[in-house]
């Protein structure tokens, strides 16, 4: 059939039909939509720190208009590996991974690399032979945190303490490094002694149960060092139930700087917390954008931490964001 429209009008119709189709199909690029998506493979929700980190990443995705696929691995590496494989299969544009433990990541990271999907590590590091397997790591210096906790405690205890150590999840970077840093920090003081050290899995219940059990064997404890605030809060409960006064009879120090820790310091039950910021959303998405644009990133961005104790907790409490 012969068109009655003049050429310019026909061209206009053609172009606007194209534009409309593109609009309706999301630009009509097969991988386009998924490519704009970011997959976030999270450890779980074991601590208040962790839920604050999840929120920071989700809020930042929303702020930037990025579609986020979220996976909670419930503390299991195999679930995280499955989630990462799922993201690769869906053709996401990038993956943010908070690896539960340090080892065992090479195969799946290689699969992501082969699919040309950059992986940004947040908060915990991995041990891999080839560091081109991830774009960058954004995290605190956990060894330094452990050392700061040790230095604070050594000073407060005048170089003499019988310490119970509550470790984080076995094999997790912050558990390994916070232990090492603390041991380094007390090394020069022969009377600072770790009399027992066990994992409470970074949870409040874990911290409470382990402290309860250890108190029976070591009633002479004078200090508790917990790898995170949640375990310290659990230990405080256990100490109180055993008739001890946490914060006075038994000094309690931990790491993270969550609101609950500040409240416990104000109440005189926790002595010190070393901050470890979970507010990594903005840094993570900056890294995602750069990696997707093919820019070369620093292998590690260290997030700075501060030490808080009962002398400055009350003044700081209203400023806490997590
Ligand atoms: O300290 C702890 C959490 O990986 C730094 O994990 C993080 C740690 C944090 O469960 O509370």
Dihedral angle at the C-alpha atoms of 62, 78, 177, 148, nearest 10 degrees? Answer: 40
Q: So what's the pLDDT on residue 25?
A: 40
* 14 belongs to a structural domain: no
> What is the band of 19 on the pLDDT scale with cuts at 50, 70, 90?
very low
pLDDT score at 2: 40
pLDDT computed for residue 63 by the predictor: 97
- Could you tell me the distance, in angstroms and rounded to a whole number, from the CA of residue 227 to the centre of ligand 1? 8
Q: What is the CATH number of the domain that holds 284?
A: 3.40.50.2300
Q: Which atom of ligand 1 is nearest to the CA of 256?
A: 1
| Greater model confidence, 15 or 147 | 147
Is 20 exposed, middle or buried (CB count within 10 Å of its CB: 0-12, 13-18, 19+)? exposed
CA of residue 124 to ligand 1 center, whole Å: 8
Domain limits for position 135: 33-140+278-304
210 and 147 share one domain: yes
Q: Say yes or no: 158 and 262 in one domain.
A: yes
d(CA 144, CA 306): 11
Nearest atom within ligand 1 for CA of residue 202 = 10
CA pair distance 220, 223, nearest whole angstrom? 9
Judge contact between 287 and 136, C-beta under 8 A. yes
Query: What is the distance of C-alpha 199 from the center of its chain?
Result: 18
Tell me what the mean pLDDT of segment 58-71 comes to.
98
Same domain? For 231 and 175 the reply is: yes
The verdict on residue 41 lying in a domain is yes
- Ligand 1 centroid–CA 135 distance in Å is 21
Largest CA-CA distance found in the chain, in angstroms, rounded: 99
Q: How confident is the model at residue 35 (pLDDT cuts 50, 70, 90)?
A: confident
- With a 6 Å cutoff on the Cβ, whether 54 touches ligand 1 is no
Same domain, 46 and 116: yes
Q: Among 12-26, 30-44, 213-227, 271-285, which is the least confidently predicted range?
A: 12-26
% residues pLDDT > 70 (the chain): 90
Q: Tell me how many degrees the CA angle 112-46-53 measures, rounded to the nearest 5.
A: 60
Stretch 281-304: mean pLDDT? 96
User: If we measure between CA atoms, which residue out of 217, 43, 176, 35 comes closest to residue 122?
Assistant: 43
Give bridge partners of residue 161 from the DSSP assignment. Answer: 192
- 81, 177: one domain: no
Residue 138, classed as helix, strand or coil, is strand
Average pLDDT value over all residues in the chain = 92
- Ligand 1 center to residue 132 CA distance, Å? 25
The residue whose two tokens read 């997030």 is 303
Shared domain for 134 and 282, answered yes or no, is yes
Position 27 in a domain: no
| Residue 10: predicted pLDDT | 52
User: What average pLDDT does the segment 83-106 reach?
Assistant: 98
| One domain, residues 104 and 182 | no
Would you state the pLDDT for residue 32?
52
- Closest atom of ligand 1 relative to the 173 alpha carbon: 4
Find the 2 Cα to ligand 1 centroid distance in Å: 71
Considering the domain architecture, whether residues 42 and 134 belong to the same structural domain is answered as: yes
Same domain, 119 and 228: no
126 lies in a domain? yes
Cα separation of 299 and 74, whole Å?
27
What residues pair up with 250 in beta bridges, in sequence order?
246
In a domain, 11, yes or no: no
Give the pLDDT mean for 20-46: 68
The residue ranking higher by pLDDT, 1 or 312, is 312
With respect to residue 125, please indicate whether it lies within any of the assigned structural domains.
yes
Neighbours of 71 (CB within 10 A): 17
Q: How many domains does the chain fold into?
A: 2
Q: How many Å apart are CA 97 and CA 39, to the nearest integer?
A: 8
What is the rounded CA–CA span in Å between residue 82 and residue 124? 18
Predicted confidence (pLDDT) per residue in 119-170, tens digit: 999 999 999 999 999 999 999 999 999 999 999 999 999 999 999 999 999 9
Region of poorest pLDDT, from 9-13, 18-22, 167-171, 272-276:
18-22
Question: Both tokens of residue 193?
Answer: 């002694």
CB atoms within 10 A of CB 62: 12
Q: 202 CB less than 6 Å from ligand 1?
A: yes
Question: Measured from the CB, is residue 37 less than 6 Å from ligand 1?
Answer: no
CB of residue 134 inside a 6 A radius of ligand 1? no
Q: Which helix (H) or strand (E) holds 49?
A: helix 48-64
| CB distance 174 to ligand 1 below 6 Å | yes
Same-domain check for residues 150 and 193:
yes
């Amino acid at each position: 059939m012969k068109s009655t429209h003049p050429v310019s009008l026909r061209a206009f119709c053609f172009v606007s039909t194209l534009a409309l189709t593109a609009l309706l199909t999301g630009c009509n690029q097969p991988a386009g939509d998924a490519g704009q998506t970011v997959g976030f493979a999270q450890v779980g929700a074991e601590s208040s720190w962790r839920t604050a980190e999840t929120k920071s990443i989700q809020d930042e995705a929303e702020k930037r208009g990025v579609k986020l696929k979220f996976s909670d691995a419930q503390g299991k590496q195999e679930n995280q590996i499955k989630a990462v494989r799922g993201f690769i299969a869906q053709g996401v544009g990038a993956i943010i991974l908070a690896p539960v433990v340090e080892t065992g990541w090479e195969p799946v990271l290689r699969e992501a690399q082969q699919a040309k999907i950059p992986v940004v590590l947040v908060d915990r590091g991995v041990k891999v032979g080839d560091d081109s397997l991830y774009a960058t790591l954004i995290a605190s210096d956990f060894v330094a945190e452990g050392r700061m906790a040790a230095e604070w405690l050594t000073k407060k205890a005048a170089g003499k303490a019988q310490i119970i150590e509550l470790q984080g999840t076995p094999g997790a970077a912050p558990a390994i490094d916070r232990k090492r840093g603390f041991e380094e920090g007390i090394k020069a003081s022969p009377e600072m002694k770790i009399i027992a050290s066990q994992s409470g899995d970074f949870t409040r219940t874990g911290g409470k149960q382990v402290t309860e059990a250890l108190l029976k064997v070591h009633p002479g404890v004078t200090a508790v060092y917990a790898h995170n605030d949640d375990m310290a809060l659990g230990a405080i409960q256990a100490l109180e139930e055993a008739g001890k006064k946490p914060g006075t009879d038994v000094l309690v120090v931990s790491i993270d700087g969550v609101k609950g820790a500040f409240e416990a310091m104000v109440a005189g039950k926790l002595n010190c917390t070393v901050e470890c910021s979970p507010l990594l959303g903005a840094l993570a998405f900056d890294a995602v954008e750069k990696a997707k644009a093919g820019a070369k990133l620093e292998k590690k961005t260290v997030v700075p931490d501060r030490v808080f104790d009962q002398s400055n907790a009350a003044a700081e409490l209203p400023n806490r964001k997590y």
